Amino acid sequence: MALLLTPARRVLGRGRASVARPARRRLPAGALLALAVALVSAGCAPAGGLSPAGGGFVDAPKMQEEYRAEVARLEWPPSATAPPAAIEGEDDVKYEIGVGASSADFSWMCAWIGRWLETRAQPNADEALEMLDGASDLPAWDAWDDHGHSALRTAVSSARDGEVDQMQTLHQGLGCRKLADRGKSQ
């Protein structure tokens, strides 16, 4: 699966304009699976890569450097920390350029979904939804398919309407709890 990444359009932060919300609808079961596959796929290739000139691939240390740079660029929820490493890199594996940033973006999204689930009854819970509206500004957004875009937008829209189920399903289906636990254990 090729990851098509573009440079960051802007740093996500407070004071962003809201994105128009689509009509509320339920997530099809396949959309959640498609989002999960798109987000957690780490474009890996055996040493030597799939590209004839070896272009477009980096080694594990470079992929981790890309991850750390993206983690530093993003605004995280209060008390949230990203896992210290994108994935456990192997020396004989090449990673598609963008895998590190995509992994950071995924961690960021899980952190803000978790933040909303924790604070949904509090007055400041909308901050998490505003941040999730900004997911379309993430470098990894273009690598996610329309089903992934729709799944996130639908969950955010449902959350604004007071429904919890879509966000809980997204959080669970994407493995966000495991990701958060990994960050605490390292």
- The residues near 106 (Cβ < 8 Å, ≥ 6 apart) are 39, 40, 140, 174, 179
- Pair of tokens at residue 112: 């803000």
Quote the pTM value.
0.69
**pLDDT at residue number 89:** 61
CA–CA separation, 146 and 181 (whole Å): 29
Residue 166 pLDDT greater than 80, yes or no: yes
160: enclosing H helix or E strand: helix 146-160
CA angle 57, 183, 167 (to 5 degrees): 95
Comparing 67 with 47, the larger pLDDT belongs to 67
Tell me the average pLDDT across 45-52: 37
**pLDDT at residue number 177:** 77
* CA-based end-to-end distance of the chain: 29
- Pair of tokens at residue 156: 């955010």
- Lookup result for tokens 């978790």: 114
- The residues near 87 (Cβ < 8 Å, ≥ 6 apart) are 42, 99, 103
- Pair of tokens at residue 36: 């999960």
Residue 47 pLDDT greater than 70, yes or no: no
Backbone phi, then psi, for 121, in 5-degree steps? Answer: -90, 0
Residue 168 pLDDT greater than 70, yes or no: yes
Cα dist from 179 to 13, 28, 83, 123, whole Å: 22, 24, 7, 27
**pLDDT at residue number 77:** 95
Q: Model confidence over 102-158: pLDDT tens digits?
A: 999 999 999 999 999 999 999 889 999 999 999 999 988 988 899 989 999 999 999
- Lookup result for tokens 């996500």: 12
Domain residue ranges in the chain: 29-185
* Model confidence band, residue 24 (pLDDT cutoffs 50, 70, 90): very low
Cα dist from 177 to 4, 20, 115, 144, 184, whole Å: 27, 29, 12, 21, 11
The rounded Cα 86 to chain-centroid distance in angstroms is 12
* Model confidence band, residue 45 (pLDDT cutoffs 50, 70, 90): very low
Residue 178 pLDDT greater than 90, yes or no: no
Mean pLDDT for the chain? 74
In percent, how much of the chain has pLDDT > 70?
65
**Burial status of residue 66 (CB atoms within 10 A of its CB: 0-12, 13-18, 19 or more):** buried
Residue 53 pLDDT greater than 90, yes or no: no
In percent, how much of the chain has pLDDT > 90?
45
